[in-house]
Amino acid sequence: MLEHPSDRKRLGRVEGLLIDLDGVMYVGDRAIEGAREAVSRLKRSGLPVRFVTNTTTRSRAMLHERVVKLDLPIEPHEIINAPRAAASHLSHIGKPRCRFVVSPDVLEEFEGIERDDMNPEAIVIGDIGDRWDYDLMSELFASLVKGARLIALHKGRYYQGSDGLILDIGAFVTGLEYASGVIATVIGKPSAAFFHAAAADMGIAPDRAAMVGDDIESDVGGAQRAGLAGILVKTGKFRSHLASASSVRPDAVVPSIADLPNLMGV
């Protein structure tokens, strides 16, 4: 792992930053020390910034409410979650007519995309709780066989509920892939589609963007595979033994988000 990156040139080309929220801007209910000032300084320098998260259980409005409570200078449009990245991805591929298999509060992210449940060109799958049944699977399968694309906000196996493990949408996405032979584009870190959509939202090419995260594999490795620079912070879920053991070599490592303005020379 590089403590002092040799590839300064790479960071010198960076024209926009993607910053992970959880673990980089805050941990639990506390903002990271110096995070507020760092973001203000980055913004004053004119560098575009987006805040990215894999959380799909909270709407962007709820995420924004949280950062406002923590007094972090983040605008609603600067937050990019998987639904919004999916919307951006759909625009990028020419706004196909879509069937949205998502929760009602996520649906608002997809304004401006034409809906077509009968004969969609793309199917977008998100969290719909216990609404899965054979008829739905069968309809989606039929559309996929007719040529529809498959887009999944994530492919989670299960999550921890108060009463034990809860089956997540990955089972249904995988089942549809198996039956139809259509492989899903999975949005959300560490998919390239997510990083590309977030960079496009700032209007810059992936190789001119850097991702700042606390997860060496998903954040840094995922970003690098997608063509972005990857910057690791030592807060949140960062563990030095995991970072040392990883084959991922960050373009830079900084103690925390507070050190980012200096690293970027702003």
The footprint of its own copies (CB under 8 A) covers 129-135, 137-138, 141-142, 145, 157-158, 164-168, 170-172, 174-176, 178-181
Tell whether omega for the bond before 190 is within 30 degrees of 0, i.e. cis.
yes
Phi, psi of 126 (to 5 degrees): -130, -155
Tell me the closest approach of the beta carbon of residue 203 to its own copies, in angstroms. 37
Nearer to its own copies by Cβ, of 8 and 146: the residue is 146
Tell me the closest approach of the beta carbon of residue 82 to its own copies, in angstroms. 19
Nearer to its own copies by Cβ, of 23 and 156: the residue is 156
Nearest Cα residue to 198 out of 95, 34, 82: 82
CB-based contacts of 158: which residues, under 8 Å, 6+ apart? 165, 166, 167, 168
User: HSE on the CB side for 135, CA within 13 Å?
Assistant: 1
Nearer to its own copies by Cβ, of 104 and 181: the residue is 181
Tell me the closest approach of the beta carbon of residue 175 to its own copies, in angstroms. 3
Tell me the closest approach of the beta carbon of residue 240 to its own copies, in angstroms. 29
Q: How far apart are CA 128 and CA 142, in angstroms?
A: 20
Nearer to its own copies by Cβ, of 26 and 141: the residue is 141
